[in-house]
Chain A
Amino acid sequence: MESVEKTEKIAALLEEKFGAKRDAKARWDVAVVVAAEYLPNAVEFLKNDPDIRMDMLVDIAGIDYLTYPNHEGPRFAVSYAFKSTVNQGCRLRLKVLVGEDCPKVPTLTGFYDSADWLEREVYDQFGIVFTGHPDLRRLLNHVEFVGHPLRKDYPAQKRQWLSTNDFLLPELEKRLEKLGYRIVQRSKEVLPNDDEFLEGSIRE
């Protein structure tokens, strides 16, 4: 019960400092809705405040409210799940509402390293752009994929044209160079080939 009181206190602090609102839809945990421009400040406060110390970013989830019953407001939302490894049982969710016409949210890669891939995944599946992200590419879908499959208006069974693989070697070479290796020969990218493609993938 102590941890519940703690999180309630944190939510109250966020409401006071960053103009956040309690999410009425969250019935099982404490969720707070923050405006996108206050997100980095709020996260910095959560992470660095000596009493709170939310030093673990568990997950970032995108939400599409297109077919949600009785929903009002922006179409998308990004939900951040935080956890404290210092204060036991201290968990909190932050939620940022994002409009359809300009889906942009500031990145959290400066605070948490795990935000890198999590944000890439949300970008891949929902098309929400994280401004300031160092390497915003698709994470789960292939490079030639068009559209964002977890949006509710994407037909779930629609497969897409595939004729090349991801060019991941420059990343590897960079890491090797960081470790002190010398790259003798740079690898070349395999360009998409119209004759070689995955059977069953459909071109628009």
Chain B
Amino acid sequence: MGNVAEKPNIITTSLDFLVNWGRTNSLWPFPYGTACCAIEFMSTEVGRYDLSRIGSEYVRFTPRQSDVLLVAGTISYKQAPILKRMYEQMAEPRWVIAMGACASSGGFYDCYCTVPGIDHIIPVDVYIGGCPSRPEAFFDAMFDLQKKIKDESYMKQRAERVKEQLEMIKAKTAEAKAEAQEFAREKISLAKDFVVEKEQELVKKAQFWKE
């Protein structure tokens, strides 16, 4: 891989800067609201606090179009697999905010039906305390997330991804090669058997006619 820069240079860092600038200023949240924290999120979103000031203009109600999974509220065991699938459906890059005590740690629900923190199911980037957390706290979390995203390197991730894909392609081709070879071997052995059979038949016929 000669094309991938080993060390960051002026081109990759400027590209990183550009990509991160775009990402930090258009974080589209996907609200997974199950309790009172979702109400706080609504007040964060609308007029008085106005989340669209930092570019989180659109609240997307589909995991395919959103960047931030916002888990606001208590997660019960019954919906834990659903939350996990929701996270898996989101496209990379994706981040998760656990809003409020319930999503972060299970809150005061220490019982048979509540998941003690969503980090048992999915990786979490930012936790917010409070029960429910204030809109200011939510903004703080968004700023934290923006800082985190600014530190990320798009080029590094891309290089890793390309490496992974290359390895996968290599493994796949090796697999396919082995399969093809086996198939050819089988075919050859079959043809050999066929030829041997034919020869024997011919020998038999020749003997018959001799007699």
Name A residues whose Cβ lies closer than 8 Å to a Cβ of B: 140-142, 145, 149, 154, 156-160, 162, 164-166, 198-201
- Measured between beta carbons, the chain A residues less than 8 angstroms from B110 are 157
Does A159 contact B112, Cβ atoms closer than 8 Å?
yes
Q: Across the interface, do B112 and A162 meet the contact criterion of CB distance under 8 Å?
A: no
Q: How many angstroms between the C-alpha atoms of A165 and B82 in the bound complex?
A: 7
* B residues less than 8 Å from A141 (CB atoms): 77-78, 112-113
List CB contacts (< 8 Å) of B75-128 with chain A: 77-78, 80-82, 85, 110-113, 115-116, 120-121
Extra contacts, 5 of them, besides A149-B113, A158-B112, A199-B121 (Cβ < 8 A), are: A141-B78, A157-B111, A165-B82, A198-B80, A198-B121
- 16 A–B contact pairs at CB < 8 A? A141-B112, A142-B78, A156-B112, A157-B111, A158-B112, A159-B112, A159-B116, A160-B77, A162-B77, A162-B81, A164-B81, A165-B85, A166-B78, A200-B115, A200-B120, A201-B77
Complex Cα gap A159–B77 (Å): 9
Residue in B81, B82, B85, B120 whose beta carbon sits within 8 Å of that of A199 in the complex: B120
B112 contacts across to A, CB distance below 8 A: 141, 149, 154, 156-160
Which chain A residues lie closer than 8 Å to B78 at the CB level? 140-142, 166
A residues in contact with B113, CB < 8 Å: 140-141, 149
List A contacts of B115 (CB < 8 A). 198, 200
If A198-B121, A199-B121, A200-B120 touch, whether A142 touches B77 (CB-CB below 8 Å) is yes
Pairwise interchain contact B111-A162, C-beta atoms closer than 8 A? no
- A184 CB to closest chain B CB (Å) equals 22
Report how far A154 CA is from B112 CA in the complex, Å. Answer: 10
Report Cα–Cα, A140/B111, bound state, in Å: 13
Bound form: Cα–Cα A140–B78 in Å:
7
- A contact residues around B80 at 8 Å (CB): 142, 162, 198
| Residues of chain B lying within 8 A (CB to CB) of residue A145 | 77
- A-B pairs, 4 with minimum CB distance: A165-B81, A199-B120, A200-B120, A149-B112
The distance in angstroms between the C-alpha atoms of A201 and B75, with both chains bound, is 14
A198 touching B77 in the complex, CB below 8 Å, given contacts A141-B113, A159-B112: yes
Q: Which residues of B contact A159 (CB under 8 A)?
A: 77, 112, 116
Of A164, A165, A200, the residue contacting B116 (CB under 8 A) is A200
Choose among A142, A149, A166 the residue with the greatest number of B CB atoms under 10 Å from its CB: A142
Q: Would you give the shortest CB distance from A165 to chain B, in whole angstroms?
A: 4
